[in-house]
Every structure is written in C-alpha cells, then in structure tokens.
Amino acid sequence: MSKTFPEDFSWGVATSSYQIEGAATEGGRGESIWDRFSHTPGKVLNGDTGDIACNHYHLYRDDVKLMGELGVLAYRFSIAWSRVIPDGKGEVNQAGLDFYDRLVNSLLSEGIEPFATLYHWDLPQALYEEGGWLNRTTADYFAYYADVISRRLGDRVHHWMTFNEPLCVAILGHVSGEHAPGHKDSTFGEATQVNHHVYLAHGKAIPVLRANSGPTCQIGIVLNMSPIHPATNSAADVAAAYRADGLSNRWFADPIFKGEYPTDMLALFGECGPKIEPGDMEIISTPIDMLGLNYYTRNVIADAPDDPGIIKTRNVHIEPAEYTTMGWEVYPDGLYELLVRVQRDYHPAAIYITENGCASADELDKAGKVHDEQRVNYLRSHFEAAHRALKDGVSLKGYFVWSFMDNFEWNWGYDRRFGIVYIDFATQQRTPKDSFHFYQRVIRDNALPGA
C-alpha cells in the first residue's frame, strides 16, 4: 500500500455547537446572536433555526457511540459560550459546563481525543447588545470564558482552537450580512475592527488556556484559507487575485504568524483599517502550537473595476467543472496547493485540516441507504491531495471531515447536507451514508483503499 498515512495521524470528524446541539432554551443556556438571527424572518432559508437541530444535547451519547463505530481518533466540536456563561461575562451556568464535561468523558471512553473550539460564531446576545465584537472589551470577556471552560475541561482536553474562521465572523457577519449579526458595511470598517478584536481575544486566551490545560496542551486557531487563481493571465486579473488573496488569506494569517497586517491591504482599507493600540500585535502573534485549516474549494477571481466595493473583484465559475450543491467547485489540487503554501509562508509547527467535506443532494432510499457517491469521490480525492502534501514535507497531523452529521447549515438551514451520517430531522434517526463506510475503511487501514 503506497498511500499510507503516518502512524499517529489524527483522523477525525467535526461539528459545531449551534449547528447540532438544539436545546436552545434548555439547561440554562443563554441566547446567542445565531438564535436571534435565525428567528428573524428572511435571514435563513425556509425560516429554519437551530432550536432543535440534531438534538445532540440529548443524543450526544448515541452520537459519540457512532463515532466510535466509525473509528475516528479525534472529534472537533465547539462550545456554546452562552451555554456556559449565559450573558457572556457574568455567572457561570453549571448545567452547561456539566454537558461538555459529560461529552468529553464519553469521547474519552471511546478512545476519541477531544479538540474543542471555543468560538464557532455563537456570541452571547447579551454581549452583542454591548457592541459585540465592535467592543474591545469583548476580548476580555472571551479570555474569562476561556478560563472558565478550561478550568473545568483542561485536565482532559489537550487541543484547543480559539476561533473558527474569523473571516466569516468579520465578513459574512459585518460586510455582506449573510451571517449573524447581519450587519452590512461595505466599507469594511466594521469588519477590520471586529477581526482585530477577535484576534486580541485569541491572543489573550492563549496563556489562560495554557495555564489551565498544562504546558503540553496544543493551542491554535482555525482559518478558512483557499487558493485564489486569476481568471485570466491579464495584469488586471492577476492584480485582482492578489487583492482577493490579501482579503481572504494574508489578512488573516499574517497577524497571527508575522505580527502584522499586510501593508497592501492596510493601504486599501485606508481609514477603514483597524484601530491598533500599542502592544496589540504582540498579543495577536502569541505563538501557537497548531493551525487548523478549513478547505472546501478554490476561488477564481477576475478584476471588477466597476464594482462599488473597495476590493473590486468578482468570482468566476470555470466550466466544465464539478460543483457541489453549495455551488462550490470540486478542486482537490487546491488542498495540496494550500497546504504547501501555508507551510512555506507561515511555517506552523503543526497543521490540521479542521474541516473538509461536501454538500450533496442526499436521499435516504427505500432500503434505508444513502448512496452519496459524490461525497465518497470528494473525500477520496482530497485525502489523496493531503497525502501528496505529507509526502512533500507538510507537517500535517490530522484531518477532520466536515461534517459528522447533517446539520444546520447557517443561512441555508437544513437544506444543505454535509454529513457522512444522514439525519432525518423529523425523527432524529441517524443513518450512516456510504461515505461513512468509506471513511471507516480509510481509518481502519490508515490508508486509501486500492492504493
């Protein structure tokens, strides 16, 4: 078998709190900005909300058992801040802490390593009402929350991710308004400030987590970076692709690894750049132990001189190419390209693919099976790309498939299915799809089938 993975490779699956837990008003949980947003008419397709989602809050034992059958060595989940501290900054909700405590213990009893993400977009609504991520003090509240959760779980959780996809927090939340809190500010003035505060929060949480979780714990952040290709070789498209790369990749990776924002982007944002106080960049670039990368697709970019925005780019669809039901191109080479680039430009001590997967039009057939051939092919080709990157020296330590089960896909509600386990949302019945069985075999062999 030539396509064998390293012996200690962490095969895993990923989810996030608001997308799966449900029990939105149970166990003392406080409201989050995603509760408010999803309950606002017109924000989420079909008016779906995460009120019940996969009811994982109640069914977590079954879910963890199924993960055990799958054979994963690691599980990436997120903690709902408002379940642990309902108003985000005050009293601790013991019932919320107890839930994550039970979850972690059941993972450990299946031999599954917990990878906890502290923030997967569900800011406590009470903090939003004090300005949310536009308020610099939110970074201190985040450090307090990191302290509370790691005091309780730090003896058993050794892998911590502070934030998931700050790009989405800043840009989907504060430029396009597709995500909570739904602000539309095309100057990027809000987005750059929000991101700066998120990054301060990240930096402030690192020593706290380390103090509570021991010197050998692994701490990182999860970025969604993607290769950006110019639509043509014209100078205008090449320059446009560089701007898009600045916005989606360098803006997020440079502060963490180099302690600075890219100067071309600062120039582009002008007055709408972040307000940086002395010492901020040192906090933001506090060394991390691992980088999580979420990869789904590449972006093909053309110049858009007439666009009223400041970036002046547009995404181009290349034909013929395969697309998923998200409208995202299937482009496994992009994963290889991204891994090699990140290793070369940023030298992270360890890289994990913290999300990779695809949304398909899955159906449960009469025999009770889900033949998700597109997802099987998608995963196989992306595993191959990761294997190539490993062979070429990338310090890739693990791979988390997004997602363990179908769930609340943000503004797309339950209309888009990313799971390797099918969820019947009316009955909460879980059905492993063909991709589950494919992945089970990859994990068992620690190698790609037929390789």
Q: Does 355 bind ligand GCO (CB under 6 A)?
A: yes
Catalytic residue positions, numbered: 165, 355
Q: Which span sits near ligand GCO by CB under 6 A: 68-76, 163-171, 178-186, 228-236?
A: 163-171
What is the enclosing helix (H) or strand (E) of 210? helix 189-213
Q: Does 297 bind ligand GCO (CB under 6 A)?
A: no
Q: Does 122 bind ligand GCO (CB under 6 A)?
A: no
Question: Which of residues 193, 294, 356, 374 is near ligand GCO by CB under 6 A?
Answer: 294
What is the enclosing helix (H) or strand (E) of 125? helix 125-128
Q: How many CA atoms lie within 13 A of 237 on its CB side?
A: 13
Cis peptide upstream of residue 403 (ω within 30 degrees of 0): yes
- Tokens 């502290």 — which residue? 118
d(CA 351, CA 339): 8
Cα-Cα end-to-end distance for the chain: 5
CB of 356 to ligand GCO, least distance (A): 9
- In angstroms, the Cα distances linking 332 to 101, 103, 295, 310, 374 are 37, 33, 9, 30, 13
Q: Does 248 bind ligand GCO (CB under 6 A)?
A: no
Closest residue to ligand GCO, based on beta-carbon distance = 165
Q: Does 360 bind ligand GCO (CB under 6 A)?
A: no
Nearest by Cα to 34 from 81, 76, 104: 81
Q: Does 165 bind ligand GCO (CB under 6 A)?
A: yes
Q: Which span sits near ligand GCO by CB under 6 A: 65-73, 164-172, 250-258, 281-289?
A: 164-172
Q: Which span sits near ligand GCO by CB under 6 A: 130-138, 161-169, 170-178, 186-194?
A: 161-169
d(CA 228, CA 199): 23
- In angstroms, the Cα distances linking 185 to 55, 194, 263, 277 are 35, 12, 22, 23
Residue 10 or 212: which CB sits closer to ligand GCO? Answer: 10
Phi (first) and psi of residue 7, to 5 degrees: -60, -40
- Tokens 């290769």 — which residue? 227
CB of 408 to ligand GCO, least distance (A): 8
Phi (first) and psi of residue 439, to 5 degrees: -65, -40
CB of 272 to ligand GCO, least distance (A): 25
CB of 84 to ligand GCO, least distance (A): 19
What residues contact 29, with CB distance under 8 A and at least 6 apart? 23, 80, 82, 83, 86, 93, 96
DSSP letters spanning 9-41 = -EEEEE--HHHH---TTSTTPPPBHHHHHHTST
Question: Which of residues 37, 188, 399, 402 is near ligand GCO by CB under 6 A?
Answer: 402
Q: Does 254 bind ligand GCO (CB under 6 A)?
A: no
Q: Does 362 bind ligand GCO (CB under 6 A)?
A: no
Q: Does 409 bind ligand GCO (CB under 6 A)?
A: yes
Question: Which of residues 57, 81, 418, 422 is near ligand GCO by CB under 6 A?
Answer: 418
Q: Please list every residue from 213 through 232 that binds ligand GCO, using CB under 6 A.
A: 224
Contact pattern for ligand GCO over residues 314 through 353, marking x by CB under 6 A: ----------------------------------------
Residue 231 or 339: which CB sits closer to ligand GCO? Answer: 339
DSSP letters spanning 62-86 = HHHHHHHHHT-SEEEEE--HHHHST
Q: Are 362 and 433 in contact (CB under 8 A)?
A: yes
What residues contact 285, with CB distance under 8 A and at least 6 apart? 203, 255, 256, 257, 258, 259
How many amino acids of this chain bind ligand GCO (CB under 6 A)?
11
Q: Which span sits near ligand GCO by CB under 6 A: 41-49, 80-88, 162-170, 185-193?
A: 162-170
Residue 55 or 93: which CB sits closer to ligand GCO? Answer: 55
Residue 5 or 160: which CB sits closer to ligand GCO? Answer: 160
Q: Does 406 bind ligand GCO (CB under 6 A)?
A: no
Q: How many CA atoms lie within 13 A of 174 on its CB side?
A: 23
CB of 442 to ligand GCO, least distance (A): 21
Q: Does 16 bind ligand GCO (CB under 6 A)?
A: yes
Site residues for ligand GCO per CB under 6 A: 16, 19, 164-165, 168, 224, 294, 355, 402, 409, 418
